[in-house]
Structure 1
Amino acid sequence: MLQVRSLGLDGVLEIVPRRHGDARGFFIETYNARRFSDAGIALCFVQDNHSYSAIAGVLRGLHYQLAPRAQDKLLRVIRGAILDVAVDIRRSSASFGKWVAHKISAEKGNQILVPKGFAHGFLTLVPDTEVLYKVTDTYSPEHDRSIRFDDPAIGIEWPPVAGGFQLSDKDLKAPLLADAEVFA
């Protein structure tokens, strides 16, 4: 059984697979092409990525790839917890520049689907957080783009973190949405 719930922006979904547990632990089928297709999610994933963050407050994003190498992302946390954020960057969309945030955690076992046309980022909420995600196209440096995480025109409400956010140089230098190359 697969629970699928819209998070309020077109195509951004929370997916909660069924967890089978007993005294030994648990088993979760995190992805099954047929079950996902039956739920209306017919995607072909071609690459898996694994991210580890040693401390709380690591902020990764907002990242995306432009067409023709745009990526859908199916993301889950295998240790720890994150606040996951998706921003609609499709200029033709009624929700352009709008964002949604959702907590994804190993404890809950939930996942988030971020479709093409959205910038994506996350903030680690606890130390030693590990994130796994599948994408529908391989990494392409020529199509890789980012948007500033604290762009006031977007207004993402990131929770405060002791010691401040930890960002890569790439993310610190990302352009504002108004200056970014986005989807039509």
Structure 2
Amino acid sequence: MQALVFLVDAVVSFFCTLFLLRFMMQAMRVSFAGQIGDFVVKLTNWAVKPLRQVIPGLGGFDWASLLAALALQLLLSALLVGISGQVISADAGTIALMAGWFAIRTLLRLAVYILIGALILQAVLSWINPYSPLSAPAHQLTRPLLDPIRRIVPAISGIDLSPLVAILLLQAVLMFL
């Protein structure tokens, strides 16, 4: 049973990451023209396209992608509660509220991990291959986070410490989540 839960969790986490990445890329105006954008769009269209007919994008955000990630996390929460088989001494509303909070908290943590991964990727690529096809999307994804930090923490001897500060701040956010 643990292997099944592990596999379901891995698949749900993979697709939630893709849905969140699609949401974040669209919100931060990252181009979908490259390999990463094409990969994300092709693997998420099965859920996002039908949802867009019901939920339009408003305010420059792709709400269908975010709803798809939330729906998957809610399904995982319900599955985990069902598989546990434990008698819960709470009413259905409380259980639904707990599952909803678990799903939202998990998506927030996943979004923070995506940003940390993009910051690390951007830093490594700046040393190894700044002209990599992954450099531009990573830069566009992290720019809204790094620009305010760069105003406070200037480059020292040509070394930009803002990604390090951003990662430390995001780690602190993870502690609260």
Query: Which category describes the TM-score, using the shorter chain as reference length?
Result: under 0.3
The higher radius of gyration belongs to 2
Tell me which protein shows more strand as a share of its residues: 1
Q: Which has the higher contact order (CA 8 A, sep 6+)?
A: 1
